[in-house]
Amino acid sequence: MDTLNGLPLVAPKISPVLDPAFRPAVLAVRAFRAQVAAAGGGIPVRLAIEQADGSVFRFDIAVLPPTHPGAAGNAAFVERFVKFLLWSRGGWRIHVDGPADLVDALRSHYTDTATGRFDADLVAFRMFDHPIEVVHTTTLPEERSVTKPLGRHLEGHRIGFDLGGSDRKVAAVVNGEVVFSEETVWDPYHKPDPQYHFDGIMDSLRKAAEHLPRVDAIGGSAAGVYVNNRVKAGSLFRGVPQDLFDARVKNLFFEVKAAWHDVPFEVVNDGEVTALAGSMSLGKNAILGVALGTSTAAGYVTPDGNITSWLNELAFVPIAFNPDAPVDEWSGDVGVGSQYFSQQAVGRLAPLAGIATPPDMGLPEKLKVVQKLRDEGHVGAKQIYDTLGTYLGYGIAHFADFYDIAHVLVLGRVTSGPGGDDIVNGARHVLDVEFPELASRITFHVPDEKDKRHGQAVAAASLPEVGRVLR
C-alpha cells in the first residue's frame, strides 16, 4: 500500500484519468481516523492555533497508540493536519496537548525542513509578525474568533479592481451597476520594482475614473494577505526583494489611497471577494468560493453572511498525500492546492493529454490552447478538465472537514467555456459516488457570464463603507 512517511494512502474510487497515482488527502485522513476508532479511540491530541490579535481556533484529533502497527504514520498525519490549519486559519503559536514525541517532530519540521521553514516564515513571521512557536501544554487557550460583515455597500460612484497574476481588472460602478470595465494583461510575479505594481494599479483606476463624475470609494481584491489595507504577504510581489517589500510594498495601498485624495478605500484577499461576490449574486451564505486562476484563490462566507480572520489560502493546503505529487514552485511542498486548481495544473496535465506546446509558452497561453482544443472536441483537452473535476471533488470533500459548507462557487479563468462544466460535473460525480452525505447538502454554482465579467468588480467596489453620498 502507498504511504506518506508511514501514513497509509487510499486509492480513490474515481481515479483522475490523467493522474492514476493521485491519492486524495481526504481518503487518507478518513482511513486513519477509522484506524484510530478501531483502536479504541486512540490517544487524544488537542490543538489550538493562535493569531496575533488573540484569536484562537481549537481542534481535537487523535492518533494511534505507540504500540499500534500503524503508529509510524502519526507524525505525518499531525503535520499535514496542522499545515491545513496554518494555511486555512492562520496563526503563529501552535498549542499542542498530546504525546511529546509528536510535538517534538512538529517543532523540528518548522525548523529543520525547507517546506516547514517556508510555512513558518510566510505565515507566522510575515503575516502575523511573530516567529512560529510550537507549545507543548495541557492547558489550551479558549476558542476566540471574530467575524464581521464585508462589503455589500453599493451606493454612490465607486471603483472596483481585482489584481491577478496574469491580468488586472477594473470597473466603474454607479449604485451597483457597472458602467465601464476593462481587463489588462500584466506580469507582476517576477517584477522586482514595486513601481511597476503601483503604476499598473493607478493606470487601471484612472481609466475607470474617466467614466465617473466623481469617485466616492475604491475597493479592491488581490492575491495575498491584507490586514487593514497593509500588505502582509502576496504572490503578486514575490519578485520584490525583502528590503523593498518592507520599504514600499507593505504600505503600497496607502500610497494609492493618498493619490486618490484619501477616499474610503479597502483592499482584501481576492478569495474573500470571490466568496462575497457569490453570496451577493446567489443570496446565499455558508459559501466557499474557489477560483481556478494563475494560482488558487479561495474565500469563505459564514452561515451568518460574515467573513472571518481566517487566511483561507487554499493554494498551500495539502490536497494529495502521494509523495510523488507535483511540487509547488514557491513553497517546495508536494500535493498542495495550487497544483490542482489552477493554470499550473492545466500546464502540467497538457503533455499527459498529448497536447504539445512550446517550452517557453506561458501558462495563460497554454490555457488558451487547451480551451480552444476543448471547444473543438479534442479528447485530451476534455481529459484535462475531467481530471481537474475529479481533483475538485476530492478537494471539496477535504475542505468540508474544516468549513461549514452549503454552497461552492467555482470560477476563475480555468473554468471558462465547456471545460468549466466538465470540472463541475466531475466534482459532483465524485461526491455522488464517494461522499453521498456531502452530495446531499453541498450545491455547486458557476457564475453566469454577467457575474463572471462583473461580479468580482462589483463586490470589490462594495467593500468600503462611506458616509452619505449624493446620488
Same domain for 96 and 152, yes or no, is: no
Please check whether residues 345 and 286 belong to one and the same domain. Answer: yes
Q: pLDDT per position in the chain (471 positions), as tens?
A: 489 999 999 999 999 999 999 999 999 999 999 999 999 999 999 999 999 889 999 999 999 999 999 999 999 999 999 999 999 999 999 999 999 999 999 999 999 999 999 999 999 998 999 999 999 999 999 999 877 777 899 999 999 999 988 889 999 999 999 999 999 999 998 899 999 999 999 999 999 999 999 999 999 999 888 888 999 888 889 899 999 999 999 999 999 999 999 999 999 988 888 888 889 888 999 999 998 988 898 999 999 988 887 899 999 999 999 999 999 998 999 999 999 999 999 999 999 999 999 999 999 999 999 999 999 999 999 999 999 999 999 999 999 999 999 999 998 889 989 999 999 999 999 999 999 999 999 999 998 766 665 677 889 999 999 875 544
Cβ contacts of 437 within 8 Å, gap of 6 or more: none
Residue 238, burial from CB neighbour count under 10 angstroms (0-12, 13-18, 19+): middle
The answer to whether residues 207 and 127 belong to one domain is no
| 160 and 49 housed in the same domain | no
Same domain, 308 and 415: yes
Q: Is residue 96 a part of any domain in this protein?
A: yes
The greatest distance separating any two alpha carbons of the chain, rounded to the nearest whole angstrom, comes to 73
Q: What is the 3-state secondary structure (H, E, C) of 296-313?
A: EEEEEECCCCCEECCCCC
Q: Let me know if residue 5 belongs to a domain.
A: no
C-alpha closest to that of 227 among 178, 280, 267, 282: 267
Do residues 133 and 93 make contact, with C-beta atoms less than 8 angstroms apart?
yes
Grid coordinates of 6: 508511514
Q: What is the CATH number of the domain that holds 200?
A: 3.30.420.40
Q: Tell me, what's the pLDDT at 471?
A: 47
- On whether residue 2 sits in a domain, the answer given is no
Domain range for 187 is 148-270
Amino acid letter, 413: R
Give the whole-angstrom CA distance, residue 16 versus residue 383. 9
Beta-sheet pairing, 407-411 with 287-292: parallel
DSSP classification of residue 130: S
257 and 211 both lie in a single domain: yes
Burial class (CB in 10 A: 0-12, 13-18, 19+), 463: buried
Contact between residue 338 and residue 315 where contact means Cβ atoms under 8 Å apart:
yes
- Asked whether residue 339 falls in the same domain as residue 423, the answer is yes
Distance CA 193, CA 190 (A): 9
The C-alpha cell that represents 435 in the structure block: 461522499
Q: Specify whether 171 is located in the same domain as 198.
A: yes
- Does 376 lie in the same domain as 233? no
Between CA 141 and CA 23 the distance in angstroms is 35
Same domain, 279 and 212: no
In a domain, 461, yes or no: no
Q: Are residues 280 and 399 in the same domain?
A: yes
Q: Which among 109, 124, 145 is the end of a domain?
A: 145
Task: Burial-class residue 114 by CB neighbours within 10 Å (0-12, 13-18, 19+).
Answer: exposed
Report the number of distinct structural domains present in the chain. 3
Residue finishing a domain among 145, 176, 200? 145
Which residue type does 77 have?
F
293 and 411 within one domain: yes
